[in-house]
Structure 1
Amino acid sequence: MAAQSAPTDPENPVSTTESNSNQSRTSSTGWFDRIKAAFSSKPVKSPTIADTPAPAAQMPPAQRPGMVNLRRMRVDDVAIPKVEIVAVPTDIKKDDLVQVFRESGMTRLPVYKGTLDTPVGLVHLKDFALGHGFNGKGGERFNLKKMLRPLLYAPPSMPIGVLLQKMQSDRMHMALVIDEYGGVDGLVTLEDLVEQVIGEIEDEHDIDEDVFWTQSAPGVYIAQAKAPLDEFEAAIGMRLTDEEDEEEIDTLGGLVFLLSGRVPARGEVIEHPSGAAFEITDADPRRIKRIRVRLPSAVPAKTEA
């Protein structure tokens, strides 16, 4: 899955996605006509091998992307958890904002007053760059409030098809998920929703398909759940399975599933008996997609009260 928001045409937020979809379909039916059809009383056609990429066609039916997900899945099924949201306060300095844009790779950042539970809007990299340059030097006097754009809000129980239509009509790419008490519960992007229909959209923030893991810091790895476990163990120089389990587990995701006994949620941390920690950075209700692995040397020591 991608970062919060990838660069797109700011004048037409859905043009890039819509163009790609038009190139891949064989019928003349419009993209949003197909979305409307998903909510009609007519039965929804299940994806077929001809309709989906080869990897998706090989998935069990319950895991395949498709139009039926627009009604079946809810916003909280695809939103990233609150702890993973990259946001900035209203009183952030210009140089600090440049640093957040640079380190996160995001083009849109939620802005809050005091805490994230009090969002006031979002800041777009394009608006900042036009006034101050990409490096934050030169241009007019820095005033974050003048650059704020409105945010879209959605309840966690909203069907993703409804939110997708709302994003299209309001020309927005990002929405904050608000719980019953008015607090922020997560964040969802246009890309997150579209991926549930057409499959995974890889961008520059995703690990290459042929690269199963990358080292982001000493003792810290970002890995795909399908990474071969024996190869990963060889790379980190430690065993993560015993002799009884090694014949049953082939992938890193399989190991995490065995440890938790279920499909863990995004943002959840699963501890390994060795002291290593597996943080789920990308997952849906059916499968684990990406994991941040912290080896024992990189896991902060717990302090007793």
Structure 2
Amino acid sequence: MSEPHPSRAHRVGDKRTLFERLVELISPGPDSKDELIETLAEAEDRELIEPESRLMLEGVLRMADMTAGDVMVAAPRMDLLDIDSPYDELLGVVIDTGHSRFPVYEDHRENIIGILMAKDLLKLQRAPELNLRTLLRPTIFVPESKRLNELLRDFRSNRNHLAIVIDEFGKTAGLITIEDVLEEIVGEIEDEFDDDDAPTGIYTLADGSHRVAGDADIEAVNGFFGTELPEQDFDTIGGLIAHELGHVPRRGELAEIAGLRFSVMFTRAGAVRWFKVTRIPAATADH
């Protein structure tokens, strides 16, 4: 028995109307990336693709035009480790920041000599005789102009998750991780600091301080800490702190309001993800 005609087999599963097929034959396909994005939006409207799929496809298209310099963490906001720091100091930085990888420098911040995995630092606790240098992994350097789609391919092939971004003069401009690249495609990626069990976005840490989400409601913050932060002009604590500082908060910046000290722990996409909040001692607050 002969096989069905290929075109006939295709038509059997084709649910488009005759008019839609004619329009497709007459109308040319998208000639630009913007037109392609519009086509994806139309496909979503016609329920041919899911909204999440459209957003991911748009992310892939836009990522092709973005570079490492567009999404990197700028050098002044990088969390670095000093190779000559004592173990307790290194461990404190790891705990406070919560990263899994850290650039390590010697003498000055520009001289990055390797990448330390947080889990490798624990080996020093069990074997203090180890030399920290032996635990360092090679540093990958990329130019600011490196396109994100190329960088993602490199990350996958060399199994590195972090790269140092350098400017045209060879100086450190910032760092970028594979998570930064992927988030341009899939959006926000939940990390180990995200917890659905605390809907207010306020968490108590082991040292008695607190971790507060940047988008936590001011009403929730006031209720938790017993403060009277103004609620009429701002909805979130991140918005209030940005107003107090006069600019978008940067990692490591401090703000003191209503007896509370807010330290910026994490920022992403121009907004604060997490604050570390401690109460200002009464004697200090009175001065």
Which bin holds the TM-score, normalised by the shorter protein? Answer: 0.5 to 0.7
1:183-208 CA deviation, whole Å, 9 max, x = no partner? 43432211122122112222323354
Q: What is the aligned partner in structure 2 of residue 177 from structure 1?
A: 165
C-alpha distance in 2, partners of 1:99/1:255?
Answer: 28
1:230-266 CA deviation, whole Å, 9 max, x = no partner? 121121222221xxxx33422212323444566x153
1:240 and 2:263 are equivalent in the alignment: no
| TM-score between the two structures when normalised by the length of structure 1 | 0.60
Kept in 2, the 8 Å contact 1:226–1:251? The answer is yes
1:121 and 2:114 are equivalent in the alignment: yes
Q: What is the aligned partner in structure 2 of residue 20 from structure 1?
A: none
Kept in 2, the 8 Å contact 1:274–1:296? The answer is no
Q: Which amino acid aligns with 2:214?
A: A
C-alpha distance in 2, partners of 1:103/1:258?
Answer: 25
Q: What is the aligned partner in structure 1 of residue 50 from structure 2?
A: 50
Q: Which amino acid aligns with 1:200?
A: E
1:136 and 2:126 are equivalent in the alignment: yes
CA positional deviation for 1:100: 6.2
1:224 and 2:217 are equivalent in the alignment: no
CA positional deviation for 1:103: 6.5
Q: What is the aligned partner in structure 1 of residue 250 from structure 2?
A: 266
Q: How does 1:22-33 map to 2 (within 5 A)?
A: none
1:109 and 2:102 are equivalent in the alignment: yes
C-alpha distance in 2, partners of 1:288/1:76?
Answer: 19
Kept in 2, the 8 Å contact 1:79–1:177? The answer is yes
Question: What is the DSSP-based 3-state SS (H/G/I as helix, E as strand, rest coil) of the residue aligned with 1:290?
Answer: strand
C-alpha distance in 2, partners of 1:67/1:257?
Answer: 31
| TM-score between the two structures when normalised by the length of structure 2 | 0.63
Q: What is the aligned partner in structure 1 of residue 188 from structure 2?
A: 200
Q: Which amino acid aligns with 1:88?
A: L
Instruction: Give the number of the structure with larger relative contact order, counting CA–CA contacts within 8 Å between residues 6 or more apart.
Output: 1
Q: Which runs of 5+ in 2 are unaligned?
A: 1-30
Q: What is the aligned partner in structure 1 of residue 236 from structure 2?
A: 251
Kept in 2, the 8 Å contact 1:81–1:267? The answer is no
1:153 and 2:146 are equivalent in the alignment: no
Q: What is the aligned partner in structure 2 of residue 25 from structure 1?
A: none
1:67 and 2:51 are equivalent in the alignment: no
Q: Which runs of 5+ in 1 are unaligned?
A: 1-39, 58-63
Question: What is the DSSP-based 3-state SS (H/G/I as helix, E as strand, rest coil) of the residue aligned with 1:67?
Answer: helix
Q: Give the direction of change, closer, same or farther, for the CA distance of 1:92–1:165 in structure 2 (3 Å limit).
A: same
CA positional deviation for 1:146: 3.7
- Greater radius of gyration (CA): 2
CA positional deviation for 1:143: 3.4
C-alpha distance in 1, partners of 2:99/2:154?
Answer: 22
Q: What is the aligned partner in structure 2 of residue 290 from structure 1?
A: 274
Kept in 1, the 8 Å contact 2:97–2:265? The answer is no
Question: What is the DSSP-based 3-state SS (H/G/I as helix, E as strand, rest coil) of the residue aligned with 1:118?
Answer: strand
CA RMSD of aligned residues (A): 4.3
Question: What is the DSSP-based 3-state SS (H/G/I as helix, E as strand, rest coil) of the residue aligned with 2:126?
Answer: coil
Q: What is the aligned partner in structure 2 of residue 4 from structure 1?
A: none
C-alpha distance in 1, partners of 2:95/2:254?
Answer: 30
Q: Give the direction of change, closer, same or farther, for the CA distance of 1:282–1:93 in structure 2 (3 Å limit).
A: closer
C-alpha distance in 2, partners of 1:191/1:223?
Answer: 22
Q: Give the direction of change, closer, same or farther, for the CA distance of 1:280–1:97 in structure 2 (3 Å limit).
A: closer
Q: Which amino acid aligns with 1:205?
A: F
Q: What is the aligned partner in structure 1 of residue 23 from structure 2?
A: none
CA positional deviation for 1:277: 4.9
Kept in 2, the 8 Å contact 1:178–1:184? The answer is yes
Question: What is the DSSP-based 3-state SS (H/G/I as helix, E as strand, rest coil) of the residue aligned with 2:275?
Answer: strand
Q: What is the aligned partner in structure 1 of residue 202 from structure 2?
A: 213
1:117-175 CA deviation, whole Å, 9 max, x = no partner? 1011223466677xxx574238xx62344443221123445443332233223321111
Q: Give the direction of change, closer, same or farther, for the CA distance of 1:137–1:157 in structure 2 (3 Å limit).
A: same
C-alpha distance in 2, partners of 1:271/1:172?
Answer: 35
Question: What is the DSSP-based 3-state SS (H/G/I as helix, E as strand, rest coil) of the residue aligned with 2:210?
Answer: strand
Question: What is the DSSP-based 3-state SS (H/G/I as helix, E as strand, rest coil) of the residue aligned with 2:154?
Answer: helix
